[in-house]
Amino acid sequence: MINRAAGIRVLYSFAMKLGGPRICATAWHQVTGLAAAGADVIVFPGVAPWPLPDNVICQPTLSRGCIRIPYRALGRLRAYALHDYIVSQRLESLSGKIDIIHAWPLGSLRTLRAAARLGIPTVLERPNAYTKFAMEIVERECKSLGIRMPTAHEHAYNPEVIRIEEEEYRAAGRLLCPSDFVVRTFVEHGFTADKLIRHQYGFDDTIYHPAEDWDGHKPGLTMLFAGGCTPRKGLHYALQAWLRSPAHQDGTFLIAGAFIPGYAEILSAMLSHPSVKVLGHRADIPELMRKSDILVLPTIEEGSALVTMEARGSGCVLLVSEASGAICKHGQDALVHRVGDVAALTNHIAMLHENRALLEELRATSLKTVHEITWRAAGVKLLEAYRESIEAYSRECLRSAPDGSRVQHSTASQSA
């Protein structure tokens, strides 16, 4: 069993920049949240542009000082593979000094295999749904609209990425799933429940906080879409629902994000409506959220969209699909619809337009529990997921060798 008073020693491997946009920020927040929760963290990032807490040991693999190996020149997958090789080589000297390895996709296969040989438990981050499913559903959605994802886009269908990630799935001890939707996609593709473990993402409450002067009874609703404007995010569904609802008559639909080629052209008739404001890429998302009543995200597949937690922290009511991975409860602090159900989304927009008391009630209930979805809270939950994974690994070792002869994992955080 785990001695819960002892600090868990974590090796955190991330082949990209630790700090920056999107998942790079997610990884940075996980590391800082773990350190705050009491873990002893050694992090091996490709590059570390953002500062880390003093109690985190950071040893980049693709940079030294101001010298960096350029990802573009080497190629994304080659750079990740080089990172993976370097981390796997460092493991020998760390055997017995770490309790668990937290790895990320596309840059961890060698590391996971070396850890298995050395008897170190591992977890693999799953920032998205089951990859083959995710890529296939995005490809189908694009085809139905008559466009194609840019070839280099991370969500474009890529057999090589699928192959690598499938091997990583098999090599990892557990898969870290940030939402029930992610769990469901893996179960539907043959993975057993004991291979999957839930954690969560969060938001930075020093940046995202509600407006003090919010007025739910002002004329017209303000609905916000924030993120990449792609078929995957379901913006076309949001536009259809908005224009079918009475809210468009005196309300405003703000769209903040960059469009992939061809998508805006297909949606041009809806985008040109006077109630729709296309803002392009924006750096003031927190302020836009504070000025909005609703955050809409009718995504067709997701891991756990950070924008939904940020919006909750800013006081927006969520209107999201069941695939968004949002931490919310339908009818209590948000309204949730099935993927592609424009009629339901239209009804939800109309409900909040016509019933401002409901809007205020959902908002108030949501704000009461936002402390549970900060990055600090996520760090605590991630640390608990590590404990569960280590305990499960120990039980598996004991089952395979009752006399303990094959149990290699022995750490200071274990007690008889």
For residue 69, what are its two tokens? Answer: 């190996």
Where does the chain hold its CATH 3.40.50.2000 domain(s)?
Answer: 9-202+375-400, 222-372
Q: Please work out, in degrees rounded to the nearest 5, the angle formed at the alpha carbon of residue 379 by the alpha carbons of 316 and 370.
A: 20
pLDDT (0 to 100) of residue 396 = 84
Rounded CA-CA distance 312/265 in Å is 31
pLDDT (0 to 100) of residue 402 = 57
pLDDT (0 to 100) of residue 16 = 94
For residue 399, what are its two tokens? Answer: 């089952």
pLDDT (0 to 100) of residue 6 = 54
pLDDT (0 to 100) of residue 3 = 44
pTM: 0.91
Tens of pLDDT, residues 383-405 = 999 999 999 888 888 877 655 44
pLDDT (0 to 100) of residue 403 = 57
**CATH, domain range 9-202+375-400:** 3.40.50.2000
Contact yes or no for 318/328 (Cβ under 8 A): yes
CATH architecture of residue range(s) 222-372: 3-Layer(aba) Sandwich (3.40)
Q: What is the mean pLDDT, run by run of 10 residues, along the chain of 416 residues?
A: 63 94 94 95 94 94 80 88 96 92 97 96 96 94 92 87 96 97 96 96 97 88 96 97 97 97 96 98 96 97 96 98 97 97 98 97 97 97 96 85 51 38
pLDDT (0 to 100) of residue 69 = 78
